[in-house]
Amino acid sequence: RHRTTDTVRLLGQEINRSTLRLGKLHLSLHNAEATLETGDTLLDDRYADLRADHIVCDAPFGLKPRANLAGDPRFPFALPNPQPSHLAWAQFIVHHLTPDGIGVMTCSPGTLSARGSTAAVREAMTRAGTIEAVIQLAPGTLATTSVPPALLILRADRDHPSEGVLFVDATELGSPERGKTRELDREEI
């Protein structure tokens, strides 16, 4: 989402054409106008110059970039090896935020506990203040995986990075229904 005065624009990019068509269908059912592009977001960023107030990203679990992204200015904290890493997506989001912008993305629990170069990137992002909060959700919260996801709340520019990171355990929230995505009610949200 990118705000220019009082205008809200919805923009998106998806590598899978059938998923893109499904996204367009969902948006049209809600009478939401959006510009959706097809392509590999990390290799062919269709919104390279965009700086947005709000970014939402359901990062693919376990997807490895199709090329080496080392040295790319969108990834100032480097890339963990071996790739894949949700931290590449987190850096991508931070790169596209306005100074006051906020990003939210899903990530796997491994992103929060991996060692080695992933831990070094996570530490660098934390020290820079770009990771504002981590919310651990229950299994079944996402329709695409049974892995218990987490949400990363990201900021491009925090006034006081030393304030630390807020951790929220939301693993007991939501109503599980057999064969359905776990739903959170308004009070829980």
What pLDDT digit, counting tens, does each position of 152-162 carry? 999 987 666 66
Query: Rounded distance, CA 164 to CA 37, Å?
Result: 36
- 136 three-class SS: strand
The pairing of strands 52-58 and 97-107 is parallel
> Can you say how many angstroms the Cα of residue 17 is from the centroid of all Cα atoms in its chain?
20
Tokens 């106008």 label which residue?
33
Roughly what angle, to the nearest 10 degrees, separates helices 117-128 and 86-96? 30
The pairing of strands 166-170 and 34-38 is unpaired
Q: Is the pTM of this model over 0.85?
A: no
pLDDT tens per residue across all 189 residues of the chain: 455 556 778 888 888 899 889 888 988 888 888 888 998 888 888 998 999 999 998 877 766 666 677 778 888 887 756 555 788 889 999 999 999 899 999 988 888 888 887 888 888 888 888 999 999 988 767 666 677 889 999 998 766 666 788 888 888 777 767 666 777 778 877
Structure token pair of residue 187: 């009070």
The pairing of strands 97-107 and 150-155 is antiparallel
> What is the per-residue pLDDT across 49-66, written as a single tens digit (0 to 9) for each?
999 999 998 877 766 666
Q: What is the C-alpha radius of gyration for the chain, rounded to an integer number of angstroms? A: 17
- Residues contacting residue 11 through CB under 8 Å, at least 6 positions apart: 1, 2, 34, 35, 36, 37, 47, 50, 52
Burial 101-110 (b: 16+ CB within 10 A, else e): bbbbbbbbee
- Residues contacting residue 62 through CB under 8 Å, at least 6 positions apart: 84, 108
Please tell me the number of Cα atoms within 13 Å of 58 on its side-chain side. Answer: 10
Point out which residues pair with 133 in neighbouring strands: 153, 166
CB 27 within 8 A of CB 113: no
Please tell me the number of Cα atoms within 13 Å of 184 on its side-chain side. Answer: 14
